[in-house]
Structure 1
Amino acid sequence: MNDVIQPREFCVHRMNYTVRPAMLEDAKALSELRLQIDGETQNLDREKGEALIDQAGFEKMIKEDTEKERNLFLVAVANDKIVAFSRCEGIYLKRFAHKVEFGICVLKDCWGYGIGKNLLNESVSWADANDIKKISLNVLETNETAIQLYKTFGFEIEGLLKNDRILSDGKYYSTLIMGRFNE
């Protein structure tokens, strides 16, 4: 099953970057990047330093994702630096074997260069090529840019987790559950 993603070059608004599968050598940079991104945005589940994944944790994740048929771990590299990553994680129970869960992190300085769009496009193409029928994701209700991007790729809002999280302003926010089904 697992069609291999080939590295692809992109140039958007004069930024050159490559989208490619994650490699074991990326683990340290990914650990540092995730920590930085968690401190730059409230769109993710974690605050900076929470649920830290160290280099060894990323090495394990990359190894597993490389070996498992329904997992995909991609990175975006600009100027020899990882600036974003995405994962599709399969569920290995028979009743859920048709779907994967998608997540993405992009360095704030790199927003607006199509990196999220290209990581998502590669992930959707991989899922379709590997007969994965459904991609699911969660997104903060106020992340309108991401919601619109997901909709352009055929994702639909499937549900709402009301008052799902508390942000730094002390207010409660809801999480949208979105999915894309490919028959």
Structure 2
Amino acid sequence: MSKQPKTPYIIRQAAKEDAAQLSEVRLQIDGETEFMDRERGEAFLSKADFEQIIEKDNNQDTNLFLVAEAEGKVIGFARCAGNSLKRTSHKVDFGICVLKAHWGQGIGKCLLQEAIEWSDENNIKKIALQVIETNHQAIKLYKRHGFQVEGRLRFDKWLSDNNYYDTLLMGRITKVSNNNT
């Protein structure tokens, strides 16, 4: 099998104008892989839903919404979602997805690196994520970028092969001084 040529792409902050494409891309990705939590059409987010998310993220210091764009089309995205609660304002939850046609081109890696750089620049101490145990490429990528497995949710996902799979809880902690470490 020959490797697909690398598509030139850019990583940038999401804009309201991306909302319609984001809705379509998310729907497509949910149908392309069982690595996501949803099946195609479940928990559907419309253009209006994405417009609200993008507006909120662009106006909140603890959130980041990135898109990967190639030839004017969104081909993937990543999001860091934090909050302003004092006890948890130091961390964000991270999620990422890339259209299957563009896997293996380093897009996920670039989205992750941008999110890490942003978190380091914005005094975020921890990035947390969840990944299904069968997504070996993603797990390797996360580990190469300083993430560690912090836990396991057993029998967390039921997939089309009628088997249950575990979800790994992973986190990347920035070097901090802490009286408890």
TM-score by length of 2: 0.93
Aligned to 2:178: none
Q: Higher strand share goes to which structure?
A: 1
Aligned to 1:65: 57
SS at match of 1:75: strand
CA distance in 1, matches of 2:14, 2:155: 34
Q: 1:38 is matched by which residue type in structure 2?
A: D
1:24-69 per-position Cα deviation (integer Å, ceiling 9, x unaligned): 0000000000000000000000000000000000000000000000
CA distance in 2, matches of 1:101, 1:13: 32
Q: 2:78 is matched by which residue type in structure 1?
A: S
Aligned to 1:31: 23
Q: 1:174 is matched by which residue type in structure 2?
A: D
Q: CA RMSD in A?
A: 1.0
Aligned to 1:177: 169
Aligned partner (choices 38, 43, 46) of residue 54 of structure 1? 46
Q: Offset at 1:128? A: 0.3
1:103 to 2:95 alignment: yes
1:124 to 2:108 alignment: no
Q: Offset at 1:182? A: 0.2
- Identity %, equivalent residues: 55
CA distance in 1, matches of 2:6, 2:59: 35
Aligned length: 172
Q: Offset at 1:80? A: 1.1
Gaps of 5+ in 2: 176-181
CA distance in 1, matches of 2:55, 2:7: 30
CA distance in 1, matches of 2:6, 2:137: 21
Aligned partner (choices 32, 35, 46) of residue 43 of structure 1? 35
TM-score by length of 1: 0.92
Gaps of 5+ in 1: 1-11
CA distance in 2, matches of 1:32, 1:142: 25
Q: 1:130 is matched by which residue type in structure 2?
A: N
Q: Structure 1 stretches (4+) deviating beyond 4 angstroms? A: none
Gap change, CA 1:97 and 1:113, over 3 Å in 2: same
Aligned to 2:106: 114
Q: Offset at 1:127? A: 0.1
Q: Offset at 1:14? A: 3.7
Gap change, CA 1:97 and 1:78, over 3 Å in 2: same
1:91 to 2:91 alignment: no
